Amino acid sequence: MDQPAFSVKLLGSWADSHTHRVQLALKLKGLEFEYQEEDFINPSPALLLHNPVYKKVPALLHGGRSIVESVVILQYIDETWTDNPIMPADPFERAVTRFWCHFTDDKLAPAVGLVFSSSGEGQKAAVDQVHENLKLLERELKDGAFKGRRFFGGDKIGLLDIVLGCGSYWLAVFEEVMEVKLIDPESFPVFHAWLRDFEEQQEVKETIPAIDRLLEYARGIRQMMLSLSNSSSSSINNAAASSG
């Protein structure tokens, strides 16, 4: 496989699903790259330089240029290194792939995020939203655009698998941390089967962090969020406890 004429460097964060998307694509293309870990909260000067508009990971640096926004990066990778394409060739197939990528980032991901950051009635509504969104994907896998396929991309992982798959691991993590049912195999059998198959792929196993690390990370953030929202009452409790 051809290696890049110029070196490839990825600025990313280890727990960021958009970073994983890019890492996975580079691995699937057999491309060597340098990786620089970025702190989500404190972007480095390099990140500020290469992504001045959004100041976020991931940022791909190649031949003195920077490319940002994960789906833009994935298409850049596919169009620059054309072996093992991750986008289909047919224009209609391409439009369908782009549509569901848009759906993932526009509808599914925010709903999943909301499950994590909310509680009570708000969380219940967010869980319902996730189910509604998964139903739509389940339908497409079972009877629609992706009927009969092993992966969204066909026999091999494609761009939509990468976009959906790198992020779907949060479903299992949030199920455990939040004690909610998100991706029940009885309600979403085809989606569930696709996700298990995706996560078994060698390149995917090398990209997605171990579930223990993700669980610990998620628990930590949830704890922090809860303590921030309880901070006014907790100081009273602490005072009461220390005086007891």
Q: Applying CB under 8 A, which residues contact another protein?
A: 53, 65, 67-69, 72-73, 75-76, 79-80, 91-92, 94-95, 98-99, 102-103, 107, 136
Nearer to another protein, 88 or 204 (CB): 88
Distances from the Cα of 135 to the Cαs of 96, 129, 132, 138, 220, in angstroms? 17, 10, 5, 5, 30
* Smallest distance, another protein to C-beta of residue 12, A: 17
Nearer to another protein, 167 or 174 (CB): 167
* Smallest distance, another protein to C-beta of residue 95, A: 4
Nearer to another protein, 80 or 123 (CB): 80
* Smallest distance, another protein to C-beta of residue 153, A: 17
**What are the beta bridge partners of residue 37?**
12
Nearer to another protein, 56 or 177 (CB): 56
* Smallest distance, another protein to C-beta of residue 80, A: 5
Q: Spell out the SS3 assignment of 121-188.
A: HHHHHHHHHHHHHHHHHHHHHHCCCCCCCCECCECCCCHHHHHHHHHHHHHHHHHHHHCCCCCCCCCC
* Smallest distance, another protein to C-beta of residue 236, A: 35
Nearer to another protein, 72 or 211 (CB): 72
Long-range CB contacts for residues 149-157, cutoff 8 Å, separation at least 24: 150/194, 150/197, 151/194, 151/197, 151/198, 152/97, 152/100, 152/194, 153/86, 153/88, 153/97, 154/88, 156/84, 157/28, 157/86, 157/198, 157/201, 157/203, 157/204
Distances from the Cα of 179 to the Cαs of 119, 128, 142, 211, in angstroms? 11, 14, 28, 16
* Smallest distance, another protein to C-beta of residue 71, A: 8
Nearer to another protein, 70 or 201 (CB): 70
